[in-house]
Structure 1
């Protein structure tokens, strides 16, 4: 946290520079992913990067994708993951990254669902705050040499796009915006002091998010107290004119964005001198009087203040070596570059200790810990899992994802290492068990030529591990779908392997939940991993063979088919009992669901505080006991319902959770606090807590109620 003295020093430094800068030099400070240092004035460079679940750079640690991180239900571990990401980023010469993604995702057809933490506002909020704190640091560690600027994205409500299409226009009520989509941003601003926000691609209620001063200035800055920078998404300022047609020139695009409060521009596929809006267009807009010098100075000042706060003046990775605009296409020593549009773009200068940082074995250990915690056991009929290695002679490891590198969107192309499922199983069983393997089919084509080979392997094996799902082709940014079935001939492969009679364990690795109703009815054991990062195979092998007891919980609902969309758990109470013709209404797997190799009892939920008022917190306690035969982890989930309300509210809403480890037979007491805001809803332009009765339930998923209690709130 900056002291008052340091803030004053920064303001003085920034103003002195502004007094000397030309319009062109000021515009040069507003570039993301391009050189923004100034050699003449000694202004350091601030390098931007992507770090959604690991730094996008060669040999950086690759952690589980965001959707999988959400399945951990473990904010403390998320913060630890993010702190490692930040440390590696700084060593690689990066100061400002575009994460976390705070979309509350309500449509699995959307290709970017994998980048989000889940469908529930509370889960996304707690996970997002943890990631933001880890990236930036808190207190005296904030934005020091081991931390970076976080970017909250995308403002706002990109998680339920119309028809599941990326960038689709959204029409949302103020109530839904406030209750569902804005709370993660508010919490990250107030609790983690987030330093940057990125608007979304789409138009919200007819106004492009990059031209929405109500969102940026009125809500984020004035209401939430945001003091950081607003950075555009890639090329979206330009699209105000070229795509959305809300203005008639590039100069007017610059004006709209500046008026809305967008400080810097990300335009990494647009060459610096070819239609970068915060380049020639902004300069011309200032000269023509469309944008005032005061507006330009405000944006530049925000950038300069963060350069000062991060002490980039003394950062060897931020020296303003690049003088000309064309220098962004020049190589610098080392391999810390990215190739964009066929050109090598300046990507910062690595720190001297970069190898020591990247090769830290603790980073790999945390990546493995996160991968194991993210795995969700969906089905385990007759306790097929864990597998007993000593009872096996032959294992068949089959499927299109059994031996592939699967990291997900915004991941390094060259991780330091990657363990596939096949490799992880081979390492675990060693020479004691024969491992047969066949891909069977592709995940994205209809070439089933290897299915007979996979069937032959399954027939020879004691158990078949069938690894299916998707990849970067079937699920990614701008790769949305109109069904949720497994792609290619994977369903045919699953049925063929099942027909052999060999016990089958199905492992799902994908960027989105898939409709697997047939598999749920026939396959005895199913694991969901989404994308587990570099330690994927090791983590799954540890779970398959009982080295690690799975405890992950779904961060999204898994629908039976695409017709159930939207199928998030906390819809408003309907006016009539829902019903589909010849099809269940309930999803295949509910939000928060996940099994274990042991069993737990959640009981004795009670109110500790008494006679609360609408202004007071409510203190709760609950008991959890491991009633199984082995140690394990459970996620105790608290859901709240307002029994009588002036507006229709959801049947239940997640308002607390705790992941806890217990030995066999152990009992623990967990404490929870329900804050005033946890009981509130948005009505008439403000948050309201109405006096009356509230019900709290505790269980291990949104569909599980093992304990309940009620309390009354007085006015």
Structure 2
């Protein structure tokens, strides 16, 4: 008797697409619907198991227990070493597999990493999750990390998911704010960071972001299907961010009905809904309702299910065996520990050095600061298996004295004191008569932005508001999604203060028995006096004065004053840390400032006075060893900044303005003098650049330029240099970047050694997005090539010309002018022309305008038709040459419409419109939405 043939979907010899189609054809509609949630339902009758998306692995496996913790992503990028980043990704992927083999339900193989949102604004609360403010460098590093995660075998080790599509760089009101992304910013900046990992196959999935883009929820963006999925011939899984689907009918109120919202999301390209944790009933119910009402067809479900299944097939779920056989011993094994140390070392950036570094042994070093003897975990960290702090690392090399440098205080009220309970578990904090000094003493940590944490001297645990709102000294530090261990100290008359709990906004009060708890809304706060027991800055200064060198370790707490859900207001050091640094420096001028943070600081005072400044992102478990290796000169500091460090937040545009071109943002367009430029980082030796050679003076658009130069180590120590190549287009129809990174190379040179660096720039990569043609264009223009140590430290330069396109004036008759394709604007927001597709602009104030430069009306234009709408009605005017004083060529009244997405066609005759002119559309009233302008030719002034 013949054995039945195995199902085609279980045959690894068949193409993945064929296997997916076979399994899809065997599933019922209900079974296919069950695949569209984060927790995919099993299909027992076919032997198909359950599957879950979403294992966090940003810089090591997170949330599942101790695993190797590498430097934060911005720190990994600061190595400027894609191969090292790939190895970190591979180690992380191996640990994911090891956890998955032990607990398949707890550790899924679809990993939610890397984050490739360009770091447009350093105040972003999640700055540490990204790689760089440059989109090309971001794409390079993201691809490297994803390549490591996925492995080199055709079968995926893990399935990397890029976060967060698209234009997501603020936490403030992130679910309701709309990122304004003009076409050039979209194509030259935002999409550019995502494309490489998808096009190369390094990443196989994408997560959509919480925000809206040009007025439409990113989860519904037509760019998913129309652009992102065209970058590869492989299936791309698209997952929503956690609880984002509910926003479509909740915070965003984009749809009134969940079935409509979920149907729209599936049609827009969402394949997996991350909603309600493992409770799938509501989500699947909305999809079923959408099917019943005809809002979805079965083929829509098929498309989403196909994307979901394709990833599972590529992970080898239906194949015998696996090419990735790893055991638990790989987790935090010796090789990964060594890699963590290597990554942490390479990520350290020397910002300033007046010769105090490297340190000379033996030295007596005072190590001070709130970060000197602790390592921080961020929201997406793994659990540290061990922690080598700055103090511990330096103590292995020299005599170390230590002081945290934080104030120790007592909080009193009318003769009684806030008193904590001894013992690890602490207990409710009460107002009592003094019961011994330690019980009434607290260490006051200033984390900036007005956020303070209080650690009880009685047991070393932090004050926290428990679930019952009673204050308890029972936490190891600020932690959790809702950080309940931070307070604001609000001043009151006569030197008193009150405590406001940051997470809830409620004041601290006391009950009749003296127990401290959060007051009800509007309740009376407990008025306190703050008594200084011991000044942290003074204690640190005394320690520093007795040492050869002082090392102040300062920075941020990754869960306080800037994190997911919370942006920063400024870039200054926390005031108490600034005070500490100044006091230590006054006591001992031989002071080194070590910054550990996930974002830049405006350390202008330190740059002027402190002899050495070192920065790294939070560096993971081996941070202390890495820091010691660099400070003592065993390793040359090889890190380079991937963000501009500004002198103050006042040099930045509005946090919510994503138009980097119009606002002169990032190193690409910034015209000021930064504190530290993009690409900056010093060495312990010196390098000279010479002998610049360009392979050609003129290039065709399909050719590439080869740039060679010689770099020589002229110092007396071996060192690492990162040679950076930038270009600038000298002439253009549009505003061009002042400088743009095109290539780089790391090289290590012995004293006196020279090396030849060869870098390549493709002329095609010099293209910009031309709004008049809706495509990338390589313009006929001269370019400057610049080679140096940073974006502002250029050592060699040359010129070449690209024989590209000569751009003609706009032709208004060939096709309608799209309002979003304007050349310049004022008082305008970008918005959605329709719920499903299309972009438009809306005036925010009377007199707002958009401009189209160099429009060739030839012999004349007789009439203009607008697609426009307004719920209040209004007037649009056309002016020539100037939005305020230019002649009025025509005007049209817009009648009120009921729906803001309702755009109607209205027209007007034109007068005096001929030749090549700058055209301005002036919004005489606020709230008018404009989609397109269509012109009809005719004689001058001969309207019809």
Q: TM-score, normalised by structure 2?
A: 0.66
Is 1:236–2:244 an aligned residue pair? yes
Q: Secondary structure at the match of 1:241?
A: coil
Are 2:545 and 1:536 aligned?
A: no
Is 1:60 aligned to 2:67, yes or no? yes
Gaps of 5+ in 2: 1-8, 101-107, 408-444, 455-531, 665-670, 805-944
Superposed, which structure 2 residues align to 1:100-119 within 5 Å? 100-119=114-133
Is contact 2:86-2:144 (8 Å) kept? yes
2:160 corresponds to: 150
Displacement after TM superposition at 1:224 (Å): 5.6
Equivalent in the alignment of 1:86: 93
Distance 1:162 1:533, change over 3 A: closer
Asked if 1:372 is matched to 2:345, the reply is yes
Higher share in helix: 1
Distance 1:602 1:97 in 2: 43
Kept in 1, the 8 Å contact 2:645–2:674? The answer is yes
Write the mapping of 1:600-679 to structure 2, written as runs, cut at 5 A: 600-609=687-696, 611-679=698-766
Does structure 2 conserve the Cα–Cα contact (< 8 Å) formed by 1:554 and 1:593?
Answer: yes
- 1:596 is aligned to 683
Per-residue Cα deviation, 1:210-255 (whole angstroms, up to 9, x for no partner):
0112x10111123565631111111112211111111012212211
Alpha-carbon displacement from aligned partner over 1:425-451 (angstroms, at most 9, x marks no partner): 11233xxx2433334352425578433
Q: Is the 8 A contact 1:251 1:285 kept in 2?
A: yes
> Cα gap change, 1:178/1:224 in structure 2, threshold over 3 Å: closer, same or farther?
farther
Contact 1:14 1:301 in 2 (8 A): yes
| Structure 1 residues 274 and 516: CA distance shift in structure 2, 3 A | farther
Q: Please tell me whether the aligned partners of residues 608 and 620 of structure 1 are also in contact (alpha carbons under 8 angstroms).
A: yes
The structure whose Rg is larger is: 2
Deviation at 1:488, TM superposition (A): 5.1
Question: Which residue among 538, 547, 556 is the counterpart of 1:452?
Answer: 538
Q: Assess if the C-alpha contact under 8 Å between 1:189 and 1:226 holds in 2.
A: no
Aligned to 1:415: 384
Match of 1:437 in 2: 403
Q: Is the 8 A contact 2:706 2:759 kept in 1?
A: yes
Offset at 1:574? 9.3
Deviation at 1:84, TM superposition (A): 0.9
Q: Name the CA distance, whole Å, in 2 between partners of 1:306 and 1:675.
A: 33
1:706 aligned to which of 772, 787, 795: 795
Could you tell me how far 1:11 is from its partner in structure 2? 4.0
Name 2:260's counterpart in structure 1.
252
- C-alpha distance after superposition, 1:169-220 (max 9, x if no partner): 111111111011111222112223521011111111111110112x101111
Residues 683-702 of structure 1 aligned to structure 2 (within 5 Å): 683=770, 684-702=773-791
> Is the deviation greater in 45-54 or in 200-209?
45-54
CA distance in 2, matches of 1:567, 1:536: 34
Structure 2: distance between partners of 1:573 and 1:622: 35
Q: Which residue of 2 aligns with 1:343?
A: none
SS at match of 1:465: strand
**In the alignment, what sits opposite 2:360?**
388
Distance 1:379 1:478, change over 3 A: same
Q: Is the 8 A contact 2:549 2:588 kept in 1?
A: no
SS at match of 1:26: helix
Contact 1:64 1:407 in 2 (8 A): no
Aligned residues: 655
Q: Which residue of 2 aligns with 1:360?
A: 333
Q: Quote the residue 1:222 is aligned against.
A: 230
Does the 8 A contact of 1:559 with 1:567 survive in 2?
Answer: no
Greater fraction strand: 2
Aligned residues of 1:573 and 1:649 also touching (Cα < 8 A): no
User: Is the contact between residue 162 and residue 169 of structure 1 (CA under 8 Å) also seen in structure 2?
Assistant: no
Q: Which residue of 2 aligns with 1:191?
A: 200
1:260, 1:19 → 2: CA distance?
23
Could you give the per-residue CA deviations for residues 37-63 of structure 1, whole angstroms, max 9, x where no partner exists? Answer: 333321134343011111113221111
1:43 corresponds to which of 39, 48, 62: 48
In structure 1, distance between residues paired with 2:321 and 2:154: 19
The 10-residue stretch of structure 1 (306-315 or 677-686) with the greater mean CA deviation from structure 2: 306-315
CA contact (8 A) 1:573 1:651 kept: no
Q: 1:458 to 1:356 in 2, by over 3 A?
A: same
Residue 641 of structure 2 corresponds to 554
Which sections of structure 1, spanning at least 5 residues, go unmatched? 318-350, 576-583
Q: Secondary structure at the match of 1:182?
A: helix
**1:86 CA drift (Å):** 0.9
SS in 2 for 1:282: helix
Q: Which residue of 1 aligns with 2:914?
A: none
Contact 2:263 2:296 in 1 (8 A): yes
- Residues 384 and 620 in structure 2, CA contact (< 8 A), matched pair in contact too: no
RMSD over aligned Cα atoms = 2.7
1:563 is aligned to 2:570: no
TM-score by length of 1: 0.87
